Structure 1
Amino acid sequence: MDPTATIPDRMPPDQFLAFMTGFTDRYMRGLRFLSSGRPASGGTAADLRLRVESRTVEAEDVVSLRLARTHGGPLPAWQPGCHLDVVLPSGLRRQYSLCGDPADRSSYRIAVRRLPSGGGGSVEIHQLQPGSMLTVRGPRNAFPFVAAESVLLVAGGIGITPMLSMAWEAARRGLDWRMVYAGRSRDSMPFLAELENLDATRVFVRPDDEYGLPVADDVLKSAVAGGSIYCCGPAPLLSLVRAGFADTGARQLHFERFAAPPVIDGQPLEVELRRSGQVVSVPADRSVLAAIRDVRPAVAYSCQQGFCGTCKVKVLSGAIDHRDRRLTDAQRAAGEMLICVSRGENLVVDL
């Protein structure tokens, strides 16, 4: 695909994100071909074995890890919004945004908030120490930064991680950028000092314990007509940004979720797990993945948004309602399904 192709002007946010996911995957494959002299295999780079070079406590329950090659040397290039697929020592696979300056290829930095009630990945990350070895795949980009002359970055909590790399890039390009950074309290918000050093005049730090819960105007009033808005954070923040977007005059809205999206237009269904014979009931407001995890906690998953492919299963029978942004027509015809977002009727899966 020609990387100079025209990008849609005012797509609805979900359609635009889907478009850019495919656009970026194809564009990055082209870049890897140009830099290596041979076609890249698949949609991501090869696996890398990286060493935890350092571990830093960035805020309450937030640590960052710097990952580097054991014997040094530059890592594959990346762009703002990129993430890594990280295979943890337990075998869990999780995705973490790269945060920091994309021009620094000596190491990758990820930051993770510890969630004791989550799926276990964040707790395991927090136990890693310098010298630990990790397998990573990527970088991959499902949240590309398409620079505009004026950019508003809206971050909530650990959603600062992709926003931080966008701020570095915007500053390097000399863009007219602003950031609104919300969180529970300053103690819970990582990278405050780094943002201040980058350009304190462009960053508005808005802790809830100082300002109260935000409304749309609190985070969007600095948006510029004709510019772009990027947002990453918890569901309530995304909801108020999407609700207030039309009143800003901004041209495009781009966002990334850090949790599974709500199920829209879901119908209750049952899924048979062929290997055990268990039949799992899936309520209308839950994903197939969430219901299966109740009885099979070790089932593989990562993004929970239908683009990484980790939760792919083979459907042996039944009608599939595909809602992902990852599978090809051939994979769908072969009965493959991403259970984090897709649904169906009378499903029998190879689990």
Structure 2
Amino acid sequence: MPANESVHELVVRRRDRVAQDVVRLTLARPDGGDVPTWEPGAHLDLLLDDDLVRQYSLCGDESDRSQLQVAVLREPAGRGGSAHVHDRLAEGDVVRVRGPRNNFALVDSPEYLFVAGGIGITPLLPMIRRAEAAGARWTLLYGGRTRSSMAFLDVLAEQPGDQVRVQPQDECGLLDLESVLGEQRDDVAVYCCGPEPLLAAVEKLTASWPEGSLHLERFAPKEFEDAPEPGSFVVKLARSGTTLTVPADRSLADVLDDAGAALTTSCREGTCGTCETPVLEGRPDHRDSLLSEKERQEGRTMMPCVSRCLSATLVLDL
């Protein structure tokens, strides 16, 4: 297991409310030692229970090795992770974590355009600090239902000039994406995180932008309306020499689990990247929400929790 996949026990040093229904957890090692290193865009797995693992973006200062910070939105229609954090985690509690892991890394660019919807502001805060430190130009367009529901407005208010545009929906309507994305621009990296309608709108508006301009992070799995009906296929594990059949009604990850393969999973939705596995032969049927179009075409890795196979046989580096 890679070092960044190790499980650590951290203590909740502080728990504070940063917006309506949003709490920030400050986590530290019980012995006061250094926490794992991380880069802007990284997230942390919180192992809240034996079968309750959730991913939350790190929103603190990556240069501060004494602590890690995540902000969690209570989601009434969620699957129990946010309710556990809000209702059961208190200061002084010990929580197991895995990571950090980064599927949303900040690329070098002379200019950045950040677009946040709601709790999607969390991974963008460290990116803004990094861009500012590098002397890059940047702007942020930040929307939410109401001003009281939008976290970290006090932090953003410290930014000078007009780099930050805060647009609560009840005051301003939906984000005016056309004004910032309607015209193609070169040498601008666009980073967007938030609910699916926002991501879909940003994807549409940047479709003609230079390849690699857009970087997204999804909290929920992307829908694939044109995905082929699942069929059975054969998977070969190169390291062990094992050959397995994956039936149409089972996921590749489940079959690998049954065979005792060394595969770590977490979200089981194709959004966290925990199970990303190298592909040696075959054509993956990518159904994750992480890989870029270029990465999908190259087919060098896949997410076995949701993805399948378009060829008769798949060979994995397992």
TM-score band w.r.t. shorter chain: 0.7 to 0.9
**Mind listing any 5+ residue stretches in structure 2 that lack a counterpart?**
233-246, 254-264, 278-283, 292-301, 311-318
In the alignment, the residues of structure 1 paired with residue 161 and residue 99 of structure 2 have an alpha-carbon distance, to the nearest angstrom, of: 31
- Structure 1 counterpart of 2:107: 146
Identity of aligned residues (%): 40
In the alignment, the residues of structure 1 paired with residue 228 and residue 211 of structure 2 have an alpha-carbon distance, to the nearest angstrom, of: 36
Scaled by the length of structure 1, the TM-score of the pair is 0.67
More displaced stretch, 206-215 vs 152-161: 206-215
Q: How does 1:36-185 map to 2 (within 5 A)?
A: 41-42=1-2, 44-89=4-49, 91-127=51-87, 128-185=89-146
The answer to whether the 8 Å contact 1:154/1:181 transfers is yes
- Residue 105 and residue 222 in structure 1: after superposition, are their counterparts in 2 closer, same or farther (change >3 A)? farther
Specify the SS of the correspondent of 2:36: coil
Deviation, 1:288, is 10
Deviation, 1:151, is 0.7
Deviation, 1:44, is 2.4
- Per-residue CA shift, 1:143-171, capped at 9, x if unaligned? 00012011111111111111111011111
Deviation, 1:137, is 1.2
Aligned pairs, how many?
A: 270
In structure 2, which of residues 167, 175, 185 is the aligned counterpart of residue 214 of structure 1? 175
The answer to which structure has the higher helix fraction is 1
- Per-residue CA shift, 1:107-137, capped at 9, x if unaligned? 1000111112111001001121101111111
Instruction: Determine whether 1:305 maps to 2:270.
Output: yes
Alpha-carbon RMSD: 3.5
The answer to whether the 8 Å contact 2:139/2:164 transfers is yes
In the alignment, the residues of structure 1 paired with residue 47 and residue 276 of structure 2 have an alpha-carbon distance, to the nearest angstrom, of: 14
Q: How does 1:230-309 map to 2 (within 5 A)?
A: 230-246=191-207, 252-268=213-229, 301-302=266-267, 304-305=269-270, 307-309=272-274
In the alignment, the residues of structure 2 paired with residue 145 and residue 258 of structure 1 have an alpha-carbon distance, to the nearest angstrom, of: 18
In the alignment, the residues of structure 1 paired with residue 15 and residue 276 of structure 2 have an alpha-carbon distance, to the nearest angstrom, of: 29
Instruction: Determine whether 1:204 maps to 2:165.
Output: yes
AA matched with 2:105: P
More displaced stretch, 256-265 vs 125-134: 256-265
Specify the SS of the correspondent of 2:123: helix
Instruction: Determine whether 1:340 maps to 2:306.
Output: yes
